[in-house]
Structure 1
Amino acid sequence: MSDVVFKVAGESASPAKFIAKTRGFEMVVDEPENLGGTNEGANPVEYILAGLAGCINVVGHIVAKEMGFVIHNLKIEVEGNLNPNKLFALSNEDRAGFKQISLRLSPKTEASEDILAKWLERVNERCPVKDNLMHVTPVRIELEQQYAIKT
């Protein structure tokens, strides 16, 4: 199978709010009020956590099917901790991103604990979002010509 390209484009609605569009869907990215936003959507790091949970869900069901069992329901809790000091230029001691991300999976299935251990190992290996979080992915940022402000 060849590469699949995913795209998101959008525009700033305020200093803390961004409206993103992809495949006909709109996503509101906003900060909570205590971080300068209006709390009209999840913030960027919450989207990362949700993306990871969504990816684990998809891969988990694919792998279960390949292994010959059904997951009737999969509850996923994801938690990440970060220090916002670097974001707000208060300190450079911690990195800007998550220090750690933890997932708790609760599958409803007839599969045994041994099968689920093998399932989790395969899910861990195959989740693209987890792979992006665990390994360096080149990110190129380009600056295009600024909009002309008419006075």
Structure 2
Amino acid sequence: MDSWRKFEFTYGTIEFRIHVPPAQGHLAAAWLQSAVKESQTGTGADGTENDLIETPYPTDKFATSIHYDGYGSNHRTGSTRATFPELRTGYHNVALHWTRSKLTFLFDGKEFWTVTDPKLVSRVKEFPIASNELLQWAKGDIHTAPLNSSSADFVDHIHV
């Protein structure tokens, strides 16, 4: 699910209420993306990919990342890993509070990563995406990962 060309915003707070799958080999994610794909400015000011949560691990660990300067040879990233007990049971709220100078990432209302490096903060419109992919680099055996309701992520709401 994405809202490209339907809904974009600059600055504010976005919250996804999401249930991530327990299946191995899947990557459930909630993120923001700008329309800018191949920038070479050396900063994210002209657009980033902000991953609030990516779940390539079969445990209660997830990744949160910021990608900028496109996806080619100029690609840059900043990221962190977080662990929250019971990540894969029930629904959880993942949120990003975004200002012109700071990104604050939250899980179930608890701040776990704050970014103040101006090179990592987008200053252009971004659109929300919720996705679930079967990826070779996600931990687990993608060849035996189930393709049924246990491998789906569920999104209860997205609030902006």
TM-score band by shorter chain is under 0.3
* Structure with a larger share of its residues in helix: 1
**Highest Rg: 1 or 2?**
1
Tell me which of the two structures has the higher relative contact order, counting C-alpha pairs closer than 8 angstroms and 6 or more residues apart.
2
The two structures have a TM-score, normalised by structure 2, of 0.24
* Structure with a larger share of its residues in strand: 2
